[in-house]
Every structure is written in structure tokens, then in C-alpha cells.
Structure 1
Amino acid sequence: MPVVMKPVETYRDDFTFSNSPQAIARFPFPFAEDSYMYSVNIEPATPREPGSVFEHWFDIDEHYLSEMAERACVLERDPQRCLVMPHMAQAAWDTLEMLMEHLAADYPEHFTLERDGDQWLWINRPLGIEQRFTFGDAGTLPFEPLEYITRQAQGDFAVLDQRDGDLFMDAGMVTCPADWSIKFDAGMSFKQWHAPVPGVAHQLGVFDRALKYLLNIQVGQPVRRLNWTMTINPRLDTASETFHEWGHERGLVTPQNVARLVHLRVELQFMPRLPRSNALLFGIRTYLISLEELATNPAWACRLHRVLRDLPDEIADYKGLTRYRQTVVDWLRQFDPQAQAA
């Protein structure tokens, strides 16, 4: 089914973002059980249900134009949200090639890629782009190749160099992070950038197992996982360096506005091996849904009530939920028959 894109909505200031019923139906609800604990939860990224967020390698949805406008806004304010260390130049071209190939194959109504040797033609109809360029020659593009293509793809992208039995965050486009910073994490190893995660996860060896798994990903055999947190307002850019703009919003939640203000924030993390450079692409595709929208599926609301009610305090603290978690749990209680009967 062709993707129907909504006109531009906003993820800041007046927050006009909302999900259509179709977007709600395909939202990647992350909880398979009534409780949550850290786990590797990595699976092969094989195509799943047509129309779902798992159908293609790179998901494009109704919010495409809005997200691209938001990315341009963030980059205008802070161009350093995109960085590429010199040794990652080949990986940047790798990323451009992979994204162009898959977007053109999976969404032919919106994207076209034509190649004649190293002479390429890229057409992006939603953004009105028609670009002829020489593959491998950054001077033939208006931006460096990683920035060029990720200005046209939803979600954030970290490009991880693999060396010395570890992964290093040496390139990326990160304009919609969940309280972290590409500028701070640049050059860090896998364990270094996961260091702030609560000790329980480290005690369980979650990250040792995950790193071992990721190091062995082969070309053409990508993997994926879901991660989650919560955000006040439909705000995509919750970077560490903009905390002064959004941190106070956690104190604005009341029983009267909780359903509208609080959003479940789910990341579909997608990890393919880049064939030319052997780097690992780490795609972080973010989906937002308000509690009000989520509750149109009462089973989701019931399960989220139980997950948040029983969530260990250290995990709630790490995810920044502590100030408003009880307000959310109280509101969701109405959708949990067991809680109502108690």
C-alpha cells in the first residue's frame, strides 16, 4: 500500500503532531508481557506483516515530511548533530548507497535511483529533489554524503566502526535522540556509551552479549530490536544539550493533561552491516504516541499500566519517568480490569 504523507506538523513550540488511526494501528508497541526488564531482545530483521513498521529495512510513514522539516530545523541550529570522522568517509558512502537502494526499491512511488557506473541520479519526489552526482565524489553533492542522505530518511543514524573487538561511534546523524548526544558520544566504544544504563543491566551481562552478537552481524543479515522510554509532548529532539528546553516539562504533568502530554516513545533499532567499509549502521527510528492515542487500544493501555506500575525504580529513574510515573499509572488504571477489581 502506498505511503500517504501528511502535511508538515511540528515537534516543538505549538506541537501540532498527531497520529492518524492508521499510524496508531501500526505503532510498534514494545511490550510482549506485563512486565519489563533489560534484555538483549535482538532478532533477525526479516520482513514481517505488509504495512507494518517491520516490512522494510527503512520505514517511511505519514510523518515523513514533518520529520524532515524537523531535522532541517535542528541542523540549522546545530550543524554538529551530523559528524563524520575522516576514516569513516567510505562508510558514509556505504550508508548513502544502502539507503538509496532500499528507499527506491521499497517506495518506488516516492524515490528513484538510476545508476550508470559511478554516475547516479537520485529522485526524491516528496522533497522535490532531483540530484545527479558522481558516487565517491563528495564535491558533486550539496552536503557530505552521510548528511545528504540522512536529511532524507526518518530516524537517527549512528555509523559504528568495528576494530579491536569493539564498536566505536565514529559517525552519525542524530537530531532526535532520547537524552543523549552524538557530540558527547563520538569516538566512544560500545560499553562506554552504554555506561549510564543502570547497573542491573550490566550485572546481567546484557551488553556483553549484545556486543558479541553485533560484532558477528554479516552483510545482508541485519538485526533489529525495540527500545522505549517516555517523552513529554511529541518532542523528537530531546538531546542532552537541549535539556534546558525540555527538562522542565516533566514537571508539567497533571491528572488533567496526562493523556495529552505524556507520549510513549519507541525506538526501532535496525543494524545492518555496510558491505564496502564493514562498518555497522545503527538506525534508530523513533515513533511517538500519546497516552490518549494509545488508549484507543485498551489492551495496550492495560499492559502499559502493569509495566509502569511494577517497573523497578532504577529503570524509571534512568528513563526520566520518576516525576510523573504515578500520575500516568493512575490514569492508565482505568484500562486494567484486575486493578479495577482490586
Structure 2
Amino acid sequence: MNMAFKQETLRDDYTFSNSPESVRRFPFPFDEDEYMYSVNIEPHDAGPPGAVTEYAIDIDEHYLTECEERRIVLEDDHGRYVALPHMMDAQWDMVELVMTNLAKDYPESFQLTQDGDNWHWVNKPLGIDQQFVFGDTSTLPMEPFEFISRQVQGDWVIMDQRDDDLFADLGIVTGQADWSVAFDAGMSFKEWHAPVPHAPEMGIFDRALKYLLHLQYGSPVRRTNWRMCVNPRLDTSSEKWHLWGPDNVSVTAENVAEKVYLRVELQALFRLPRSNAIAFSIRTYMVSLEDLAMYPRWIKRLYRVLNSLHPDLAEYKGLNSYLPYVLEWLKPQDDGEVLPKGTQPE
């Protein structure tokens, strides 16, 4: 597959845009007309050709854009990379996970040659040609996890398993949705997810934790999560709220379709072989309401979900300041058609 990588910006002048193919493969998260937070875990099996789930790690037309955005964020705040000392085995696990999957699934862009512990990695899009000894940090220009995570889209949190719990002890998070990896570092699984409204009393994270503690190597799982944002900005971290927060009050009836984006996280979880840790990938996709309208069924379902959304969830997802404009724009496009269960656009 020959992929055309685009050079865009995700801040300031916002030149980010989705091709029709990128909109078509967008992981629309709603399979019913109402939404309530749930575990919604399924096997991370290979999806149909062209889907975001076709391969274990998805690379798309925004690859160069997102890698450059990560570089900018880390240059400004290297605290977005967290690595506790006991996680070195997990770092090398991540090198193997990413390199082997990218080389296998995108051979026109990534190449990996292995001769025992002597590895040779070529990343053509980023112009990287690196020989190193697997397990020897001194043979890389930086820590192994940082080296490889700068070359992949999406954020990653690696959870150490101990004392019947999971702890966020390794991560690189440069495009998060209003949370802080520096604040959450070292937290347990339920501490990390505590802010989600109504989920704790429903026992959602008790069930999720029990499930993940028994996750098997070679049997990854996935789920989706969503929110909305104003402008296609990946870095909506708590630390940078002063930069992106004011955008929420810039939405009007006239600009809502082009400024407001549905933002979906495809979250995959992989058991790692050496460390027994769990890698949690948070791969974010964004599409404007204007582009989403290419598929009327998606627009109708989005209106119904947002119109019936519990007020606590709307507040948690940061929608309140512009939700009325979104609903006003979506409502005329809902003709009352009975929609089948599922996320297919047509």
C-alpha cells in the first residue's frame, strides 16, 4: 500500500484536513441512538482492508503531521514523557511491538532486519536509519521507548501489573484530551479513571480491571472513547488549557460545522512478553461536523446521541459551552429515520 503522507499543522493556523478516504475510515463510535459510558471491549482482531483496525497499529495520511506535533510538544515540555526506572524491560517490549508490526504491515515505509540482538531499523518517512543492539540502551540516541514512540501515531501508557492492580508507570502522552500524564504517573488503574462520572458506582472499572489483569499475550483487545473539540488540535492537555480552552467559546451558529470536531480514541491494549506489563495505546482521530455530513446516517445518530446525553457526561466531555450550536446545526438533518444498530455509515 503506497500512502501519501501530508504535511499539516495541528495548532495556530490549523492546516489539518481529512481526505474523503480518511473520513470514510473514521472510527465512528456510536452503534445506537443513546450513549452511556461502558467497558465496550472487543478482541483487537484484524478489521477489513482500509479500516483503522486492519492492522494492530494504524498509520494514516497524518503520520508526518502527528510525529512533528509530538516533537514540538516534547521540545516544549519533556515531562510528557514519563519512565519510571523499573520499566526498562517494558521499554524494550515496546520497541519490539512497534517495529515488528510496522515493518510487517507497512513494508514500503518501514524495514527491520534482525541478526540476533543486532537490529537495523529504517523509517523512510522520517528519514531514520538506526543500527542498535536490542537491550543495550547506549546504542540508541535516547531511551528505547522514547525513540520508538516518537515514530508512531497516538499516545501510549504502559501499565505495570503488581498487587492485583495496574499502574501507569511509563508513557508518552502529547495529544491527550484534558488530562495530565505527569499528574497521573504512578496511579493505579481506578485512580487514573476516577473522574469519569457515574462509572465507579456502576462498577465499570472494577469489571474492566478484572478483565485486563487476565489479558493474555498475543490476544490484544480494543475499545473506543470519544469527546468533541474546537479546532483540530491534538494537544488539549490540562497543562495547555490556557491555549485551547478559550477556543470553546469561539463557536457560533455560522462556524460550528467547520470548527467543531468529533474526536475518537481507538484504544488498544497489548500484553507485553518480557515485562508482563500492558501497553495501552490511545490513537486519536478527528473529523469536523462538516466532513462527517458526507454520511447522513452518522449525522442523524450523532444528533440523537448528543441530544439525549446525560448532563454530567456532557460536562465531563467539555461540551457545554458549544453543545447548543452543535445540536442546532445537527437537528435539521435528522429526518426521524429508524437507524439499524451498528456504526456503518450507510
TM-score interval, normalised by the smaller of the two chains: over 0.9
CA RMSD of aligned residues (A): 0.9
Instruction: Summarize the alignment of residues 181-260 of structure 1 with structure 2, pairs less than 5 Å apart.
Output: 181-198=180-197, 200-260=198-258
Instruction: Summarize the alignment of residues 1-342 of structure 1 with structure 2, pairs less than 5 Å apart.
Output: 1-6=1-6, 8-198=7-197, 200-338=198-336
Report the secondary structure of 1:114's partner residue. strand
* 1:66-115 deviation per Cα after TM superposition (whole angstroms, max 9, x unaligned): 00110000011011111110000110110011100000000000000001
Unaligned runs of 5+ in 1: none
Shift of 1:4: 2.4
Shift of 1:3: 2.6
Query: Counterpart of 1:9 in structure 2: which amino acid?
Result: E
Tell me if structure 2 keeps the 8 A contact 1:147–1:173.
Answer: yes
Report the secondary structure of 1:74's partner residue. helix
Cα separation, 1, equivalents of 2:48 and 2:239: 38
Query: Counterpart of 1:240 in structure 2: which amino acid?
Result: S
Shift of 1:250: 0.7
* 1:11-65 deviation per Cα after TM superposition (whole angstroms, max 9, x unaligned): 0000000000000000000000011001110001111111100111100000000
Tell me if structure 2 keeps the 8 A contact 1:94–1:277.
Answer: yes
Query: Counterpart of 1:178 in structure 2: which amino acid?
Result: A
Cα separation, 1, equivalents of 2:289 and 2:176: 20
Shift of 1:143: 1.3
Query: Counterpart of 1:5 in structure 2: which amino acid?
Result: F
Tell me if structure 2 keeps the 8 A contact 1:3–1:60.
Answer: no
Unaligned runs of 5+ in 2: 338-346
Cα separation, 2, equivalents of 1:172 and 1:37: 28
TM-score (norm 1): 0.97
Q: Which moved more, 1:148-157 or 1:135-144?
A: 135-144
Query: Counterpart of 2:2 in structure 1: which amino acid?
Result: P
Cα separation, 1, equivalents of 2:153 and 2:110: 14
Cα separation, 1, equivalents of 2:64 and 2:259: 23
Report the secondary structure of 2:336's partner residue. helix
Spell out structure 1 runs of 4+ moving beyond 6 A: none
Q: Aligned residues: percent identity?
A: 59
TM-score (norm 2): 0.96
Shift of 1:338: 2.5
Tell me if structure 2 keeps the 8 A contact 1:158–1:282.
Answer: yes
